[in-house]
Amino acid sequence: MAEDDFEEFVEFTLPEPPVIGGGDAGTFDQASIDALFGGGGPAELHKVGLRAVLESEIINHERLPMLEVVCERMVRALSTSMRNLTSDSIDISLDDVTTARFGDFMDRVTLPAMIAVVRVEQWENYGIVTVDSGLIYAIVDALLGGKRGSQILIDGRDFTTIETALVARVLNLAILEFCTAIAPIAPVSMKLERIETNPRFAAIARPSNIGAVCTFRIDIDGRGGRFSMMFPQATIEPVRDKLAQRFMGEKAGAENIW
């Protein structure tokens, strides 16, 4: 093919640069950028573009079987420890081990509640422990010798220093039992840094970050409630492969023969 023929061929076959948003060829205007990121429209419209991907409610749920085993071991040990602490009949059960976005998890916290910020020394990151108001009053009533089986009135007031100290004692016990339960997989030490009552002051991760959530139920002679432990993905990343194993000692990765 001659050089003139090739130039003529290229001239007639190459497409023109796309014009986006009505501006110059190959340029983006503000309307195009808003459309790409899903903004600039009414709030009632469905999210589109990158915003729809980032804020999607669909989460790729990754099962962590060994984390469920750790929680079951923690339940048995914590039941004995709390019976010795309160001298009451304690029934602790594991409700669920699931995955959630950090923002959605914090939005589901029913106030008033206590939100404990826990630092995991070996993983150099943080976790969250939330305690609902029903369990808080049950713990305080049990430790201060309240009447068994009595109904607890939840008035929505702020928690006193004594109530916070009593709940912190139980939280330290739960954290210690969790560290003991996970020790065969990854020896860690956790420290209770502070207890907040406002979710905004306990933001240890971005709202869109995904984490593992372990929810427990505690019954103390007919009184009680739930507490949850939330570890963002960045926190458990050092041991995620071990927690994803189906049994202790399973080799990570696929078989070499395949």
β-pair type (113-120, 190-196): antiparallel
Instruction: Give, as one character, the DSSP assignment of residue 195.
Output: E
* pTM of structure: 0.71
User: How far apart (Å, rounded) are the C-alpha atoms in residues 255 and 247?
Assistant: 16
Please, how many CA atoms are within 13 Å of residue 158, restricted to the half-sphere of its CB?
6
**97 and 68 in contact (C-beta within 8 Å)?**
yes
Per-residue tokens: 209 = 């970050």
**Res. 35 pLDDT band, cuts 50 70 90:** low
| % of the chain at pLDDT higher than 90 | 50
Residue with tokens 């202790």: 248
Mean pLDDT for all residues in the chain: 79
Say yes or no to pLDDT of 38 above 60. no
Q: How would residue 68 be classed by pLDDT, with cut points 50, 70 and 90?
A: very high
pLDDT score for 10: 46
Return the DSSP state at 199.
G
DSSP 215: E
Which tens digit of pLDDT belongs to each residue from 73-109?
Answer: 999 999 999 999 888 889 999 999 999 999 999 999 9
Q: Report phi then psi at 30, rounded to 5.
A: -65, -35
Quick one: tokens of 106?
A: 């914090």
Q: Which H helix or E strand runs over 229?
A: strand 223-232
The DSSP call for residue 203 is: -
Q: HSE-up of 122 (CA within 13 Å, CB side)?
A: 13
226 pLDDT band (50/70/90 cuts)?
Answer: very high
**Tokens representing 248?**
């202790």
- In this structure, the chain runs to a length of 258
